[in-house]
Amino acid sequence: MSEFFVLIAGGGTAGHLYPGLAVAEALVSLGKRRNEIHFFTSDREIDNKLLTAADFHFTPLDGNGLTRRSISSSIGAVILLIKSTIFACRYVRKSKPKVILALGGFAAVPGSVAGLLTGTPVVLHEQNSVPGTANKLISKWAKKSAVSYQSTELPRRMYTGNPVRKEITNLNLSDKSMHRSQLGIPEENKLIVITGGSLGSFKINKSILNALPDLKEIPNLTIYHIIGSRDWEEMGKVNIDVDIDYRAIEYEEEMPVVLNSADLIVSRAGGSITAEINLLGIPSILIPLPGAPGDHQTKNAESLAVDGRAVIIPDENCTGVRIAKEIKGIVLDEERLLNMGMPRHPKSGKNAAEKIATLLIEVAK
């Protein structure tokens, strides 16, 4: 097994992986070879798909996050965590990375514990305003805690912002017309993008379908509904008997093109998607995931809503009637829609990736 520079540990959702990929690309730009960068990920399909496409080596770890659903599932999760940690320790001893970057989530824990036990320095990155359980634990021995929000409190914190993948930071507003044409969006239409994250959201999906009859009042409208694989069989093939340009998508491979084309987005409020919305200046309706650790998605959403760039709908109020009301209130008011769209700051996400990459190089010395 060859030695490499950094082990990037984290995954399970696109939101956990995208910041890691952005940092990995920044390291390549700073002179590191792709084969010097290795990922520890979850064994979910999304991890395999994203890392294979990005051409980085990775090792999937068996396991799940701890839940409160049942004692048996929690015991099973702990057993898998112990097994994965033993494997990670052996792997780190053999490969001898100079530094470990923890991204949060289940897959971050075995790699970070392996760093502690082998004396390999660990740097963590927290994408959300409120740290998750894994990063709270890892922060106890991490050399540095890179945070995306000024308000996030962790030991040895360093504000970096949230790294955004290059496919987003490289977007240009001048390409919006071209991207809309690629998607077949009529020039005169307003494009509303619906997404519940890489896995999808049943609550959002159901509410959007229920909202469609009310949305036909909006002229020249396209609904681009990214349902997700989890609900696709149930909701993706529903017959929509509404006179509206409605498009159901299982999984979007070209999300940067879709985001650059959007006039409004309806979404959960995970760290990565809110960073991308902020960077691109897309007006948004955000529906924070209930039960997220520390209610971090609500805090993420509030960072955009505080100056009018987003509207927040609590999950318990997420109904077809409420979503239709908020969409109409924005799309039918051209001045409000324009004011919600802030100027783009494409360098912010790129600079965050460069800051963390530079930090990793410094810590590794």
What pLDDT tens digit does each residue of the chain (365 aa) get? 667 899 999 988 888 899 999 999 999 999 999 999 999 998 888 899 999 999 999 999 986 655 555 566 567 678 888 899 999 999 999 999 999 999 988 889 999 999 999 999 999 999 999 898 889 999 999 999 999 999 899 999 999 999 999 899 999 889 999 999 999 999 999 999 999 987 789 999 999 999 999 999 999 999 999 999 889 988 887 778 778 999 999 989 899 999 999 999 999 999 999 999 999 999 999 999 998 878 899 999 999 999 899 999 999 999 999 999 999 999 999 999 999 997 666 666 679 999 999 999 999 97
Claim to verify: residue 189 and residue 99 sit in the same structural domain: no
Claim to verify: residue 214 and residue 265 sit in the same structural domain: yes
Residue span of the structural domain in which 311 resides:
171-345
CB 58 within 8 Å of CB 95: no
Claim to verify: residue 150 and residue 36 sit in the same structural domain: yes
User: Does residue 364 lie in a domain region?
Assistant: no
Out of 159, 193, 223, a domain closes at 159
Claim to verify: residue 227 and residue 271 sit in the same structural domain: yes
User: Does residue 149 lie in a domain region?
Assistant: yes
E strand intervals along 91-189: 99-102, 122-126, 144-147, 157-159
User: Does residue 360 lie in a domain region?
Assistant: no
Residue closest to 90 by CA, chosen among 61, 63, 66, 65? 61
* Domain CATH number, residue 109: 3.40.50.2000
Q: What is the number of structural domains in the chain?
A: 2
Output the CA–CA distances (angstroms, integers) from residue 172 to 259, 265, 273, 343, in the order listed: 11, 18, 18, 12
Claim to verify: residue 105 and residue 190 sit in the same structural domain: no
Out of 159, 189, 204, a domain closes at 159
pLDDT tens digits, 120-167: 999 999 999 989 888 999 999 999 999 999 989 999 999 999 999 989
Out of 129, 159, 189, a domain closes at 159
| pTM of the predicted protein model | 0.87
Claim to verify: residue 154 and residue 175 sit in the same structural domain: no
Claim to verify: residue 143 and residue 223 sit in the same structural domain: no
Claim to verify: residue 21 and residue 44 sit in the same structural domain: yes
Claim to verify: residue 204 and residue 318 sit in the same structural domain: yes
User: Does residue 166 lie in a domain region?
Assistant: no
pLDDT at 1: 61
Claim to verify: residue 119 and residue 212 sit in the same structural domain: no
The β-bridge relationship of strands 157-159 and 144-147 is parallel
pLDDT at 69: 54
Claim to verify: residue 244 and residue 185 sit in the same structural domain: yes
CB 68 within 8 Å of CB 74: yes
E strand intervals along the chain: 6-9, 37-42, 57-61, 99-102, 122-126, 144-147, 157-159, 190-195, 221-226, 245-249, 264-267, 284-286, 310-312
Q: Is 83 exposed, middle or buried (0-12, 13-18, 19+ CB in 10 A)?
A: middle
